[in-house]
Every structure is written in structure tokens, then in C-alpha cells.
A and B are shown apart, each in its own frame.
Chain A
Amino acid sequence: GAVVSQHPSRVICKSGTSVKIECRSLDFQATTMFWYRQFPKKSLMLMATSNEGSKATYEQGVEKDKFLINHASLTLSTLTVTSAHPEDSSFYICSAVPGVLSSYEQYFGPGTRLTVT
């Protein structure tokens, strides 16, 4: 089956620093990737849609200058949390959609636990 990886799985950083999270589709090409955020005991909330070769589309309330998304290739999207603060601590999950036009299925990465101290 389709596999999506995320790196790192856990990261602890100091307030004010930036952190980059990678999302890779390992055995398929993904023209679209999504970034979600999951708060403790809460559901997943969509942050942004990442399209290869174009700017990401952010959901209302998500600061695009704070959460930088780059979809540089058909197998890689990165999320950079800039000037991180403790309130950015969360579980970040990406998903990837195969490039087949008829596919609606998303494949999820294992998530990245970010802790900002």
C-alpha cells in the first residue's frame, strides 16, 4: 500500500526558533498534500493544502508567514514553523493524495509531535 513518512517523529525546540517537518510519499507521486494539526483529545484540523509547484492554500485563521509550506517535488512537502512559541506545541500530521485523477483517498503520515519550551 501507499506509504507516507514524516520526519522527525518528535522534536523539542526552544521558543523563538524554527522547526522544519518533512512529509514524503515513499512509493507514489503526490500532486497534493495536506497538513493537519491535532490538539490533545481533539480532532484533526486542516491547516493548509500544499500543491506541487504552486503556493499553498491556507485555511482561515492559519498564519501563512508562521507556517511556511513548500511542496518542492511530487514526493516531498515541508512545513516550517517559524519563531515557534509554546502554543504551537501540537501534533502535526500530513497526508498525500496520489496523482491519479480519480483518486480521493488520502494516505496519512505518522505525525510529528512538536514541543516548544
Chain B
Amino acid sequence: AQSVSQHNHHVILSEAASLELGCNYSYGGTVNLFWYVQYPGQHLQLLLKYFSGDPLVKGIKGFEAEFIKSKFSFNLRKPSVQWSDTAEYFCAVTPNMGRRALTFGSGTRLQVQP
């Protein structure tokens, strides 16, 4: 079975600071990787996804993530955060075979101070 680790549980940044959230997964085969965001009181929204191809993927709202296969990592980055980025961020993985449920990391709460 696969597992996902998010190392940062709570991150506090000032506006305009750069962001990098770590995500590592454990699985023996090919995977699809996702980052979701959950704003306060709202439902999960997809930020970006990686299925294959260019390991650097760009998502919505200026976010990007890089898949490093050798490190089993899929870290999320944003060069300059805004107060509106305050939210919970979840990394998730699913095996690249059939329709499988997502395995989520524990989440990282990002708090951006104005």
C-alpha cells in the first residue's frame, strides 16, 4: 500500500515570502500525484497534478510542483505567497492503474500574515 508524508504541519509566512511544502510518498510502482488546497470552510480544490511527462508541473494561482522520482518527492512551491493563500494543503497519490482512491498526506496548514 502507498503512503504519503508531509513534513511541515504548520507553516507561517509573511506575504511575498517564498513557499515550499514537502511531500514524499512510498509506493513501489508508477503513481499519479496531486496537490489539493482546502480554504477555510470550503471543499477540496485541485491545485495541480502529475501523471507523466515534464516533472515540473504548473497549477493554478501561481503554484508549481516538481516530481523527483529518485527522491519519491513532489514538493509544492510558490515564489511569492499572498494572504489569500492561507489554507490547508494536502499532497495525495494514487497508483497509475485503474480508478483507485487517493491516499492523502496529513496536510500542511499554511498561515500567511499580511
A contact residues vs B (CB 8 Å cutoff): 31-32, 34, 36, 41-46, 49, 93, 95, 97, 103-106, 108-111
| Given A46-B102, A95-B102, 9 other A-B residues pairs in contact with their CB atoms under 8 A | A31-B99, A42-B106, A43-B105, A44-B104, A93-B43, A93-B44, A104-B94, A110-B43, A111-B43
Q: Which of A32, A43, A97 has the most CB of B within 10 A?
A: A43
B: number of interface residues (CB 8 Å): 21
B106 and A105 contact, CB distance less than 8 A: no
Any chain A CB within 8 A of the CB of B75? no
Given A104-B94, A110-B42, A110-B43, A43-B107 contact (CB < 8 Å) = yes
Instruction: List residues of chain B with CB within 8 A of the CB of A106.
Output: 102
Any chain A CB within 8 A of the CB of B103? yes
Instruction: List residues of chain B with CB within 8 A of the CB of A97.
Output: 99
Given A34-B101, A49-B101, A104-B32, A43-B43 contact (CB < 8 Å) = no
Instruction: List residues of chain B with CB within 8 A of the CB of A46.
Output: 101-103
Given A42-B106, A43-B107, A44-B90, A104-B99 contact (CB < 8 Å) = yes
A108 and B43 contact, CB distance less than 8 A: yes
A105 and B101 contact, CB distance less than 8 A: no
Any chain A CB within 8 A of the CB of B26? no
**Distance in angstroms between the alpha carbons of A105 and B99 in the assembled complex:** 9
B90 and A43 contact, CB distance less than 8 A: yes
Query: In the complex, what residue of chain A is closest to B107 when comparing beta carbons?
Result: A43
**Distance in angstroms between the alpha carbons of A28 and B22 in the assembled complex:** 33
Instruction: List residues of chain B with CB within 8 A of the CB of A103.
Output: 99
Any chain A CB within 8 A of the CB of B51? yes
A43 and B46 contact, CB distance less than 8 A: no
Instruction: List residues of chain A with CB within 8 A of the CB of B43.
Output: 93, 108-111
Query: In the complex, what residue of chain B is closest to A111 when comparing beta carbons?
Result: B43
Instruction: List residues of chain B with CB within 8 A of the CB of A41.
Output: 109
**Distance in angstroms between the alpha carbons of A86 and B51 in the assembled complex:** 40
Query: In the complex, what residue of chain A is closest to B32 when comparing beta carbons?
Result: A104
Contact of A104 among B45, B96, B104, B109 (CB under 8 A): B96
A43 and B104 contact, CB distance less than 8 A: yes
